[in-house]
Amino acid sequence: MTRISVGTCGWTDPALMRSGWYPRGHRDAEGRLRHYASRFPVVEADSPYYALPSPRTTRLWAERTPAGFRFDVKAFSLLTGHPTRPAALPADLRGHPRDEGLLTETWTRYAEAVDPLRRAGRLGTLLFQYPPSLAPGPDSEAFVRAARERARDWPFAVEFRDRAWWSSGRTTAFLRDLDATAVGVDTRQGLPGSLPPDTAVTTPRLALVRFHGRSAHWGTGGKEDRFRHAYTEAELAEWLPRVRALAAHAEEVHLLFNNCCADAAVRAAGGMLDLLTARLPRQAASPEAPVPRAPGAAVR
């Protein structure tokens, strides 16, 4: 039985908070998350990419969300090879050489921080988003494989930002061997930095698609330009056959919107949820709907 869940890539984006989407009385940290979780059954936690959270923080996330809610948690930047400011590291690690020992210790602390979500049944997956500079090749595969080995007991999803990873079937086989989710990406096509929207299901546990919008400035502009896009109903409907295909091979499907200008992401997520409910009624996700296991969509 497949569960399809729709949400956004974050719930604390300043543009969303300025948009007025959060009602009065729900604009503090607790109120925002409780309100979000009343509307959607999954969210991407992107703040751990920028700094390691504390276990207390993730315990509060678990306490403020209902049973069945899922957090897909981005990996800390150092773990994926992104440039990382020393100030983003714990104070006692800031003078440490950038070597394997630092990666191992950083992973240990990241895992300790995220573990409250796992123990509470709130963890969807860890999301390792690799930079465009990570081109396919033996060294890059070894880097990803080492990360997977550290996280061998965790659900693990991979997003590559260099489209060359998808020029052959090698990457699909590689991720299947790692039991890792291949993250699909919806962006404008035909640009130098465009990524292919279709990826195979590489682990039966989870299929994941992140919707970045279809701005012509993808890969070149600032954040506002790259992610400024309001999905139309027709653009969302294009994904229904793809979602059905993913659901045929995965136990869970997560659809996460990252077109994070004002309330565009929550509007797009709501639109996708409406389409799933109307056109794939046994697959539609809603926090209020009675479902077998959790807020989500059940598919037989």
Q: Alpha-carbon distance 210 to 191, whole Å?
A: 18
Q: Are strands 2-8 and 297-299 parallel, antiparallel or unpaired?
A: antiparallel
User: For the chain, what is the mean pLDDT?
Assistant: 88
249 φ, ψ (degrees, to nearest 5) = -125, -5
Residue 84: predicted pLDDT: 96
CB–CB of 269/40 below 8 Å? Answer: yes
Query: Average pLDDT for residues 59-65, to the nearest whole number?
Result: 99
Nearest C-alpha neighbor of 185 from the set 217, 157, 154, 223:
157
Q: Per the confidence metrics, is the pTM higher than 0.85?
A: yes
296 pLDDT exceeds 50? no
The per-residue pLDDT for range 245-295, each reduced to its tens digit, is 999 999 999 999 988 777 889 999 999 999 998 877 655 555 543 332 333
230/52: higher pLDDT: 52
Residue 201: predicted pLDDT: 97
298 pLDDT exceeds 50? no
CB–CB of 4/251 below 8 Å? Answer: no
Give SS3 for 86: helix
Residue 283: predicted pLDDT: 54
Q: Alpha-carbon distance 285 to 299, whole Å?
A: 10
Going along the chain from its start, the domains and CATH numbers come out as 2-9+14-299 (3.20.20.410)
Sequence-ordered alpha helix ranges (H) in the chain: 14-18, 29-39, 47-50, 55-63, 100-119, 138-150, 170-178, 223-227, 233-237, 240-247, 264-279
HSE-up of residue 286 (Cα within 13 Å, Cβ side): 14
Residues of the chain above pLDDT 90, percent:
70
Q: Alpha-carbon distance 40 to 285, whole Å?
A: 8
Query: Which segment of 75-89, 171-185, 203-217, 267-281 scores lowest on mean pLDDT?
Result: 203-217
The β-bridge partners of 253 are: 4, 207
